């Protein structure tokens, strides 16, 4: 497929017209306010990723790619060594904002490799190559999301009920998204599904973002609390579970928003296929299993007071607020990627996927 500037600019993360900033939709303010922010400094990019103004593994990768280009463009260093050291320091700082999301470090390494591989060129030429690389990261994600959506759609029948957790739509990625991409693509082709969107506590990405995207796209969506997943499955309303992923280990274990593992356990109990959807860049073959995935702990106030007029727990009450959990590969029916559908045994077939590439 041919990706156009119009395609890129329609995404929730894109480069500004003058190329001097990264433009994002501030996802913290949705669904009631659609506000665009421009990111120009390392601190602005770091805070946008850290505070989830931009979130979703692919969107974070796109933001990192464009962000590193913007920082390179703004650099006044003209000799290679000074330019490299400054950009490397800024890049490492940005990567530290969300250590679990492999797309962030993946995009950063890819951008810095351009710098490292072209040290013989003038800095001005390296900046041009960084622009091309950042656009390539975005274009590839649009193409990947389209392919993932096609593969996912092949597993569904018209009228199926699909349960999803967290948000892996266009806001978190590009074009159709990943986990809800098949339903978005299906709607575009006149195929209707019934989607159940977990609210996804404590940050409510499913309520604020997934239900927002699906409703705007005309998809039949029903919002449920996380602890209602069991009853809708028991009622026979769910024929498949589609969720995103922030990191997939070499054995098929994967990290996704907190609560995903519980959904997988319920799906296994009720005999419902459970799929994770994501680009191959989310697969970390250097990570042997889920025990090696670092889980980010977030601010306790997200549980205690974030969504309330007054705190819902005493200040003295301890809070445990992990951002992700790890779903065991034995609970997973298949991994849907841009390169195809990967079935068990995952340790064998994931390795084979990369060997074939």
Phi and psi (nearest 5°) for 278?
A: -175, 160
Question: Among residues 261, 262, 327, 323, which one has the least CA distance to residue 295?
Answer: 323
* Inter-helix orientation angle 102-117/123-153, to 10°: 140
Structure tokens belonging to residue 65: 């790619």
Q: What gap in Å lies between CA 309 and CA 177, rounded to an integer? A: 33
Phi-psi domain of 320 (left: phi exceeds 0; alpha: psi -120 through 50; beta: other): beta
H or E element at residue 221: strand 220-224
Exactly one of 246, 253, 284, 338 is catalytic; which is it? Answer: 246
Phi-psi domain of 277 (left: phi exceeds 0; alpha: psi -120 through 50; beta: other): beta
Question: Among residues 279, 40, 255, 253, which one has the least CA distance to residue 173?
Answer: 279
Residue 192 designated active-site: no
Q: Mind telling me the catalytic residues? A: 246
């Amino acid at each position: 497929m041919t990706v156009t500037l119009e395609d890129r600019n329609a995404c929730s993360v894109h480069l500004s017209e003058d190329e001097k900033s990264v433009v994002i939709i501030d996802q913290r303010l949705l669904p009631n306010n659609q506000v665009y922010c421009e990111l120009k400094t390392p601190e602005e990019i770091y805070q946008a990723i850290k505070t989830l103004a931009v979130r979703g593994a692919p969107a974070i990768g796109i933001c990192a790619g464009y962000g590193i280009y913007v920082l390179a463009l703004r650099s006044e260093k003209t000799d290679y060594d000074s330019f490299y050291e400054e950009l490397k320091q800024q890049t490492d700082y940005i990567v530290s904002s969300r250590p679990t999301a492999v797309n962030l470090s993946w995009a950063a390494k890819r951008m810095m490799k351009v710098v490292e591989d072209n040290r013989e060129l003038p800095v001005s030429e390296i900046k041009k190559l960084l622009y091309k690389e950042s656009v390539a990261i975005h274009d590839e994600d649009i193409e990947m999301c389209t392919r993932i959506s096609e593969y996912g759609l092949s597993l569904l029948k018209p009228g199926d009920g699909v349960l999803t957790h967290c948000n892996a739509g266009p806001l978190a990625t590009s074009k159709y998204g990943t986990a809800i991409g098949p339903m978005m693509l299906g709607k575009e082709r006149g195929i209707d599904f019934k989607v159940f969107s977990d609210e996804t506590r404590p940050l409510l990405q499913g309520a604020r973002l997934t239900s927002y995207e699906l409703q705007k796209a005309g998809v039949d969506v029903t919002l449920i609390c996380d602890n209602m997943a069991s009853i809708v499955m028991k009622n026979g309303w769910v024929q498949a579970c589609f969720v995103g992923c922030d990191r997939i280990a070499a054995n098929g274990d994967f990290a996704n928003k907190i609560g995903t593992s519980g959904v997988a356990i319920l799906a296994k109990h009720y005999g419902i296929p459970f799929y994770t959807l994501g680009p191959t860049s989310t697969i970390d073959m250097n990570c042997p299993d889920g025990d090696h995935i670092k889980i980010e702990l977030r601010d306790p106030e997200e549980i205690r007071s974030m969504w309330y007029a007054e705190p819902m727990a005493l200040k003295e009450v301890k809070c445990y607020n992990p951002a992700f959990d790890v779903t065991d590969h034995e609970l997973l029916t298949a991994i849907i990627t841009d390169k195809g559908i990967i079935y068990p045994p995952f340790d064998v077939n994931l390795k084979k996927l990369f060997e074939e590439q």
